[in-house]
């Protein structure tokens, strides 16, 4: 995966989009590499949490590669969108918590990439937005669907229809990012938080993610039924037995992901 850097440490995999000369812009190769990287995350039991960030000090991912994208035919653009959606769905549904460390510009496809992550930490100098309409385009990698689910329809439409950029403080105010840090700290803070999650019971994390993500498209009654079924599944795990036993014995649980 020539466009990504990976680093593993104590159950946390850091994945870095590595095109700093292009502000880490998304092209077909990057999208294919992201798809492959998160397919590997899903099946690698040694990975318990992920940090996703961009190389350099200017950008998380500044957007899609406009030079490549502008040459697409309508049918090619449709297929390009489907490939991007599949890759970003892979992030959201990998079964491991994914923390975005937004260390600069996260625009267009970069914003959509951050939205596919489960938790978003931002640098104080981050700029986030959906400027597609300023280019005569719309979102193609799931942004028009994920953004309103995160911040609400009215707020999402304000940013999608205007194409304006927001700073980290505004992104935090509307609930788009969870926390803000100084530029030199954001990746380390995201990694520390991912390390905390990596210490939790892996099966429970997967079940919790499935309840929240899967339940968003369900009625309250249907969502609660999903929750009850997953609650029952948790009781079939070795991790649940270890966690409850460790609590009674007043010691730290050692989870095996079983």
- For the stretch 201-223, pLDDT in tens is 999 999 999 999 999 989 999 99
**Looking at the predicted structure, is the pLDDT value of residue 247 above 90?**
no
CA 28 to centroid of chain Cα atoms:
19
Q: Which of 92, 112, 170, 242 is catalytic?
A: 112
**With bands split at pLDDT 50, 70 and 90, how would you rate the model's confidence at 245?**
confident
User: Start-end ranges of CATH 1.10.12 in the chain?
Assistant: 202-248
Q: Supply the pLDDT for residue 132.
A: 94
Q: Which of 92, 132, 238, 249 is catalytic?
A: 132
- Helices and strands of the chain, counted as H and E runs: 11, 10
Residue 168: which H helix or E strand, with range? Answer: helix 168-173
Whole-prediction pTM value?
Answer: 0.93
CATH 1.10.287 fits 202-248, yes or no: no
- Residue 132 annotated in active site: yes
**Averaged over 86-107, what is the pLDDT?**
97
CA 241 to centroid of chain Cα atoms:
30
User: Start-end ranges of CATH 3.90.226.10 in the chain?
Assistant: 4-198
CA angle 159, 188, 152 (to 5 degrees): 20
**Looking at the predicted structure, is the pLDDT value of residue 1 above 80?**
no
**CB-based contacts of 10, cutoff 8 Å, min separation 6:** 195, 198
pLDDT tens string 122-179: 999 999 999 999 999 999 999 999 999 999 999 999 999 999 999 999 999 999 999 9
CATH of 4-198, one of 3.40.50.720, 3.30.70.100, 3.90.226.10, 2.60.40.1760: 3.90.226.10
pLDDT tens string 14-41: 999 999 989 999 999 999 999 999 999 9
- Residue 112 annotated in active site: yes
């Amino acid at each position: 995966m020539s466009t990504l850097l990976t680093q593993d440490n104590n159950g946390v995999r850091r994945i870095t989009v590595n095109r700093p000369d292009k502000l880490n812009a998304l092209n077909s190769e990057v999208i294919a590499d992201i798809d492959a990287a998160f397919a590997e995350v899903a099946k690698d039991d040694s990975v318990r949490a992920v940090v996703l960030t961009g190389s350099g000090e200017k950008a998380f991912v500044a957007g899609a590669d406009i030079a490549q994208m502008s040459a697409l035919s309508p049918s090619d653009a449709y297929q390009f969108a489907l490939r991007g959606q599949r890759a970003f769905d892979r992030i959201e549904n990998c079964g491991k918590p994914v923390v975005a460390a937004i260390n600069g510009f996260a625009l267009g496809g970069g914003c959509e990439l951050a939205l596919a992550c489960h938790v978003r930490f931002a640098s104080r100098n981050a700029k986030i937005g959906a400027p597609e309409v300023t280019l005569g385009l719309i979102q193609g990698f799931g942004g028009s669907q994920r953004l309103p689910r995160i911040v609400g329809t009215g707020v999402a439409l304000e940013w999608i229809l205007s194409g304006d950029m927001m700073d980290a403080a505004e992104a935090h105010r509307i609930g788009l990012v969870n926390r803000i840090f100084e530029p030199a700290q954001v990746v380390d803070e995201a990694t520390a938080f991912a390390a905390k999650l990596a210490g939790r019971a892996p099966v429970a994390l997967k079940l919790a993610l499935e309840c929240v993500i899967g339940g968003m498209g369900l009625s309250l009654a249907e969502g609660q039924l999903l929750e009850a079924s997953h609650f029952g599944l948790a009781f079939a795990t070795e991790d649940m037995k270890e966690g409850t036993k460790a609590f009674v014995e007043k010691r730290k649980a050692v989870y095996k992901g079983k």
